[in-house]
Structure formats: structure tokens, C-alpha cells
């Protein structure tokens, strides 16, 4: 394959681009933060001065930026991908954005015969580093087939979920379930603690039953250690649930529990925990109940 372009070298983009280099891909990168570019250049990439310049030299371009407006700017804005890309170029947006925006961007690119996939990821920074992300893709089957070998350098599970926008709808579904799982765990462990039962024993007792989940196994130990160091930040989960609410309203689906989870996350942000792990949801419940969940006698 020719050179791969990579735009957006943040918390996720940086390790993902390094995994492409490790897999032997020739990489041309761009980010608005020069230090991030230098770090990835140090790992073997070449630098470009703009998104347009990346697209001029690469027929396969990955975008990994924070939210919908950033994708629009990087792809459709001045100095963006659309200004440099040749017809037939494949643009893979791995950002987590509003699916409506994915479709809008894809439609604009299609006018210039530029192909587009939305391919948001789940797994946070740890899985970005070890190359085991879950990647949810929307777009045409031939484009997916072409992108698959490249995506395999960054992810362990890669699924074509449907047409353009389906990747981001799937990501939003994922984020709803994760947020509500953490909230349910928090309610339960705060109840157990205030009722005088050891929350660690409650976790051990329920994790193998129907209430058990990947979320519970990841987040209950953090809660018991009172650890809110971020794997996935509150601010990012707010962004995702904002997009979920917008998508729900757009297609006529009320999301009452998602709205509740979003407001809990907003309360944490106001309380100065925007950069904490989303498992900090338990702190919201602790404040209401005036109790702290923690291991006993450790």
C-alpha cells in the first residue's frame, strides 16, 4: 500500500499512529500541536504542514480528532482533506462524532469522488496503545475490505455495522450502555455501603451472575480503590452522550436514562472532575448519600 495519512495525534491518535508504524506502514502525519507531530516523527513518520498536504500525498487518510466540528474543519474546511485529495482517495474518520455529520461529510466528499468510512473506536487509551481497539465501521463493503488490513494494525475487533453513519450510531449505543452500567454499579455499591455491607463482597458475589459485565469488572475495582485516574474522561463521555441525545431526537427516540446519565456527568464536570475517569459517577452518588465506597481494612 502507498503512504498512509494520519490527521490528529491526540491521546488516541498518537498511539494508533505508532501502531501503524510498528506494522511497517509508511506514515505522513499532521496535527495542530507541533510537539505531538515531533513525537510521532521520532517514531518514524514524516510530517506534513496541513490536512490538505496529507491528502495530496496519500490515497488513504485517517482522521482522529475530538468531535464533529473538528472533523468538518479537518476534512471540509480551508486547508482540509477535500482540497488535496484526488478522486478515489479513501478517508477513514475514526473520531467519535454525530452520525448525521458523518453522512454530511461523506456526501460532500462523494461529490469529488472521494470515498469515506466512519470508523469510531472503543477501548480508550490503554487499548489504543496495545492495538486492541474495537472498531465500528459504517460505509460501503468494498471500502471496508480495502481498509481492513490497515485497521487490523490498530484494533482487535473490526465490524462493518452498515452504511455511512452506522459506525457512529453503534459507538453511541456502546456509550449509552457503558454510562448506564457505571451508574447502576454506583447506585448499588453506595446502597450496599450505607446499608453496612462490604461493597467488595457485594462485587465478588454478583460479578458471576446476571448483573456481571465487562464494565463492572473494569470499574468496580477502581471504585473500591477510590481511583479515578482516567482511562476514559468524564468530558469525553459528556460529548458522546450529547451526540447520542442529538441522534435520538433526530430519529424520534426518547432516551430518558441517557439524559439522566448525561446530567450526572455534567454535575461531575461542574465539581471539577471533567478530566477524571467516568467511573467517578460513583462520587455523585456518594455525595448524595454522604458515604464513601471503599475496601474494608486495606
Catalytic residues: 171
Which residues are 90's β-sheet partners? 60, 115
For residue 291, the SS3 value is coil
Q: How far apart are CA 239 and CA 127, in angstroms?
A: 20
Per-residue b or e along 164-181, where b marks 16 or more CB atoms closer than 10 Å to that residue's CB: bbbbbbbbbebbbebbbb
Q: What angle do CA 114, 119, 125 make, to 5 degrees?
A: 135
For residue 111, the SS3 value is helix
Give the per-residue SS3 of 179-210: HHHHHHHHHHHHHHHHCCCCHHHHHHHHCCCC
Q: How far apart are CA 168 and CA 247, in angstroms?
A: 10
Q: What angle do CA 147, 153, 154 make, to 5 degrees?
A: 95
Amino acid at each position: 500500500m502507498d503512504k498512509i495519512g494520519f490527521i490528529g495525534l491526540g491521546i488516541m491518535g498518537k498511539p494508533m499512529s505508532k501502531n501503524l508504524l510498528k506494522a511497517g506502514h509508511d506514515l505522513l502525519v499532521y496535527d495542530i500541536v507541533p510537539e505531538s507531530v515531533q513525537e510521532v516523527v521520532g517514531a518514524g513518520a514524516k510530517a506534513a504542514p496541513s490536512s490538505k498536504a496529507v491528502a495530496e500525498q496519500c490515497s488513504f487518510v485517517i482522521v482522529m480528532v475530538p468531535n464533529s466540528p473538528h472533523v468538518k474543519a479537518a476534512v471540509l474546511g480551508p486547508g482540509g482533506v477535500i482540497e488535496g485529495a484526488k478522486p478515489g482517495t479513501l478517508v477513514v474518520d475514526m473520531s467519535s462524532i454525530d452520525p448525521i455529520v458523518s453522512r454530511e461529510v461523506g456526501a460532500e466528499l462523494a461529490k469529488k469522488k472521494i470515498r469515506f468510512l466512519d470508523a469510531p473506536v472503543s477501548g480508550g487509551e490503554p487499548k489504543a496503545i496495545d492495538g486492541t481497539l474495537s472498531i465500528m465501521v459504517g460505509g460501503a463493503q468494498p471500502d471496508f475490505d480495502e481498509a481492513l488490513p490497515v485497521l487490523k494494525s490498530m484494533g482487535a475487533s473490526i465490524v462493518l455495522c452498515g452504511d455511512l453513519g452506522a459506525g457512529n450510531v453503534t459507538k453511541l449505543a456502546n456509550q449509552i450502555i457503558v454510562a448506564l452500567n457505571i451508574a447502576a454499579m454506583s447506585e448499588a455499591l453506595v446502597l450496599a455501603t450505607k446499608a453496612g455491607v462490604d461493597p467488595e463482597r457485594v462485587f465478588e458475589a454478583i460479578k458471576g451472575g446476571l448483573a456481571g459485565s465487562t464494565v463492572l469488572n473494569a470499574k468496580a475495582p477502581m471504585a473500591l480503590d477510590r481511583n479515578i485516574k482516567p482511562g476514559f474522561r468524564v468530558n469525553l463521555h459528556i460529548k458522546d452522550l450529547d451526540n447520542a441525545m442529538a441522534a435520538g431526537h433526530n430519529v424520534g427516540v426518547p432516551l430518558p436514562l441517557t439524559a439522566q446519565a448525561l446530567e450526572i456527568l455534567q454535575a461531575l464536570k461542574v465539581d471539577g472532575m471533567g478530566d477524571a475517569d467516568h467511573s467517578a459517577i460513583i462520587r455523585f452518588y456518594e455525595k448524595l448519600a454522604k458515604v464513601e465506597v471503599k475496601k474494608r481494612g486495606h
